[in-house]
């Protein structure tokens, strides 16, 4: 966890968002995270979670409050893998290096390392349509990691995956987090996903969304998949679900 006054990668203070249509999506949201923080956000559909992430990434502007991003590089992982269909897995990941003007040798090497890290060794030359949904999401994660992000934003990246693949991806992601120690902000509808992945769960109320509870998660990384079957885990997911139920 970040110490008070320590390095902060992302700080939101009193952030509100009102769209020109009149919809108030967020009111008075404050949060801060730094390296080694993996914060998940759960809340009812339409409470402003994606809006929160879009504000943090600079895709939207807040109507009130301040947003301070102190990351040299930020990665954004969406619900669908958003890959370029005409490029192989490797060339999708290399795109990041291309945009940064890295040499061909350098970007190839870094793309290969990232693909190895997400368990796609041997699939480099396959095109997205030749990969399963889980593998496409792995390519998407590799593309996010190859940027060496200081801040990683995730908007329900595993929402479209089947349950078994989803649990696998959660296990992979927290291993990667342990290695890379970026500051992570992760949106999900799944309470158990939130608890398994994060250092802290933020619970949001129904629209207009505000943060109604901050629930710290105590376990070190890497986390064994079987953690999900322990009484401590059930107690914490129960607490998050209860809070969510009170405010939706
Ligand atoms: N560009 C926009 N213009 C107007 N209203 C918007 C815009 N984007 C989002 N909204 C509204 O803001 C509210 C919050 O939307 P948002 O997508 O942030 O919710 P969410 O919590 O991510 O929902 P879900 O869990 O279903 O993904 C909704 O009422 C939505 O209709
Ligand atoms: Mg959303």
The CATH topology of domain 1-73+150-248 is: Rossmann fold (3.40.50)
Q: Which atom of ligand 1 is nearest to the CA of 17?
A: 12
Q: What is the C-alpha separation between 128 and 139, in angstroms, rounded?
A: 9
More confident residue, 145 or 203: 203
More confident residue, 148 or 40: 40
Using the mean position of ligand 2's atoms as its centre, give its distance from the Cα of residue 188 in Å: 8
pLDDT at 156: 93
List, for residues 94-140, the tens digit of each pLDDT value: 998 999 999 999 999 999 999 998 889 999 999 999 999 889 999 99
List, for residues 1-42, the tens digit of each pLDDT value: 444 456 899 999 999 999 999 999 999 999 999 999 999 999
List, for residues 164-202, the tens digit of each pLDDT value: 989 999 999 999 899 888 999 999 999 999 999 999 999
Q: What is the C-alpha separation between 75 and 155, in angstroms, rounded?
A: 11
Closest C-alpha residue for ligand 1 atom 14: 48
DSSP 3-state of 226: helix
Ligand nearest to the CA of 48: 1
Q: Where in the chain is the domain with CATH 3.40.50.300?
A: 1-73+150-248
Closest C-alpha residue for ligand 1 atom 16: 48
Task: Say yes or no: CB of residue 59 within 6 Å of ligand 1.
Answer: no
User: Residue 199's Cα: distance from chain center in Å?
Assistant: 13
Q: What is the C-alpha separation between 8 and 32, in angstroms, rounded?
A: 7
User: Can you tell me the mean pLDDT for 79-84?
Assistant: 85
Q: Which atom of ligand 1 is nearest to the CA of 23?
A: 5
pLDDT at 6: 64
User: Can you tell me the mean pLDDT for 52-79?
Assistant: 93
Q: Band the pLDDT of 81: cuts 50, 70, 90.
A: confident
Neighbours of 216 (CB within 10 A): 10
Using the mean position of ligand 1's atoms as its centre, give its distance from the Cα of residue 51 in Å: 6
Closest C-alpha residue for ligand 1 atom 1: 19
pLDDT at 79: 81
User: Can you tell me the mean pLDDT for 78-105?
Assistant: 92
Task: Say yes or no: CB of residue 53 within 6 Å of ligand 1.
Answer: no
Using the mean position of ligand 2's atoms as its centre, give its distance from the Cα of residue 41 in Å: 11
């Amino acid at each position: 966890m970040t110490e008070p006054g320590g390095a902060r990668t992302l700080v939101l203070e009193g952030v509100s968002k009102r769209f020109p249509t009149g919809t108030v999506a967020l009111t008075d949201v404050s949060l801060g995270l730094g390296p080694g923080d993996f914060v998940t956000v759960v809340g009812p559909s339409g409470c402003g979670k994606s809006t929160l992430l879009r504000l943090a990434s600079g895709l939207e502007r807040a109507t009130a409050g301040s947003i301070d991003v102190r990351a040299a590089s930020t990665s954004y992982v969406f619900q669908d893998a958003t890959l370029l269909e005409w490029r192989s897995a490797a060339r999708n990941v290399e795109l990041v290096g291309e945009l940064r003007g890295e040499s061909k040798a350098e970007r190839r090497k870094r793309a290969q390392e990232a693909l190895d890290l997400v368990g796609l060794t041997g699939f480099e030359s396959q095109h997205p349509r030749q990969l399963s949904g889980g593998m496409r999401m792995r390519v998407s994660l590799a593309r996010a990691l190859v940027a060496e992000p200081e801040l990683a934003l995730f908007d329900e990246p595993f929402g479209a995956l089947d349950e078994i693949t989803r649990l696998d991806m959660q296990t992979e992601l927290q291993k990667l987090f342990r290695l890379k120690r970026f500051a992570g902000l992760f949106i999900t509808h799944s309470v158990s996903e939130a608890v398994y992945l994060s250092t802290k769960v933020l619970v949001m109320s129904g629209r207009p969304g505000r943060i109604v509870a901050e629930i710290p998660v105590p376990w070190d990384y890497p986390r064994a998949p079987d953690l999900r079957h322990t009484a401590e885990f059930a107690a914490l997911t129960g607490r998050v679900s209860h809070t969510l139920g009170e405010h939706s």
